[in-house]
């Protein structure tokens, strides 16, 4: 029968932990070697420099740094750790400021967003399709236009009448007048009714 520690060791050794280490600014070969040796604490399975970005005015992930390049390292570790723990460990060991070093997991939403890959492979954005092929059976009259607006206003008036009826208020009836000025009492201008001091 296996001991608990043997089961635990088997579970740990089978799993790999991927991280992406980003360092803003120039990095020397000595610092690169030191970075790899420091990660040896977590038993490095793979370590490679995946990219060096061109100098950017505002590099991604580094809001406090301007006009700098970013060195990106893909790291796979055998022992578990967190991005926060790695960031603290590497910044203190490499004597790099926290604003110059970022550690992320490759599957994080921010990393997916920065990758620039389209959400759907091989398709354009839905709003650029003037024929709306994704919804071919849509009846647009149900969602906008004069017919829709007339029905919407009628529905609002019906709701208002029901609310007034529930409160016990008197519901005004529609008369024969199409416009407000068609009623005789509304034909007199307020200026005509005003007091004239000359009289």
> How many Cβ atoms sit within 10 Å of the Cβ of residue 197?
5
Reported as a single tens digit per residue, the pLDDT across 97-110 is 889 999 999 877 77
Return the percentage of the chain with pLDDT > 90, whole number: 20
DSSP strand pairing (70-77 vs 17-24): antiparallel
Predicted pLDDT of residue 122: 55
User: Taking 70 as the threshold, does the pLDDT of residue 116 lie above it?
Assistant: no
- The pLDDT of residue 101 is 92
Closest by alpha carbon to 53, among 40, 38, 37, 65?
A: 65
The model's pLDDT over 132-186, given as tens digits with 9 standing for 90+, comes to: 777 767 677 777 888 888 888 899 988 988 888 888 887 766 666 556 666 666 6
Band of pLDDT at residue 23, cut at 50, 70 and 90: very high
Q: pLDDT confidence of 79, banded at 50, 70, 90?
A: confident
Alpha-carbon distance 165 to 108, whole Å?
55
Domains in the chain: boundaries? 4-115
Q: How confident is the model at residue 84, as a pLDDT?
A: 92
Q: How far apart are the first and last CA of the chain?
A: 117
Residue 131 banded pLDDT, cuts 50, 70, 90: confident
Question: Which one, of 89, 94, 93, lies nearest residue 71 by Cα?
Answer: 94
In this prediction, residue 89 carries a pLDDT of 92
- Tokens (6 digits) for 63: 């809001």
High-pLDDT (> 70) share of the chain, % = 74
Closest Cα to residue 103, out of 79, 77, 73?
Answer: 73
> Averaged over 12-33, what is the pLDDT?
85
Q: Return the pLDDT at 184.
A: 67
Closest CA to 88 of 77, 102, 76, 107: 102
Question: Looking at the domain covering 4-115, what would its CATH class be?
Answer: alpha beta
pLDDT confidence of 11, banded at 50, 70, 90?
A: low
């Amino acid at each position: 029968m296996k001991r608990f520690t043997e089961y635990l060791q088997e579970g740990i050794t089978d799993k790999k932990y991927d991280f992406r280490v980003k360092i803003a600014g120039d990095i020397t070969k000595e610092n690169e070697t030191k970075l790899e040796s420091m990660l040896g604490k977590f038993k490095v399975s793979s370590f490679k420099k995946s990219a060096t970005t061109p100098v950017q005015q505002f590099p991604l992930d580094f809001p406090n740094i301007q006009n700098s390049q970013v060195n990106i390292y893909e790291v796979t570790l055998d022992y578990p750790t967190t991005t926060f723990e790695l960031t603290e460990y590497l910044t203190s060991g490499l004597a790099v400021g926290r604003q110059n070093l970022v550690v992320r997991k490759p599957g994080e939403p921010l990393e997916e967003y920065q990758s620039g890959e389209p959400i759907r492979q091989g398709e354009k954005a839905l709003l650029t399709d003037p024929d709306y092929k994704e919804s071919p059976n849509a009846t647009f009259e149900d969602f906008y236009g004069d017919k829709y607006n007339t029905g919407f206003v009628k529905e609002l008036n019906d709701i208002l009448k029901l609310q007034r009826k529930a409160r016990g208020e008197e519901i005004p009836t529609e008369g024969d007048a199409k416009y407000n000025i068609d009623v005789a009492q509304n034909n007199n201008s307020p200026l005509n009714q005003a007091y004239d001091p000359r009289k």
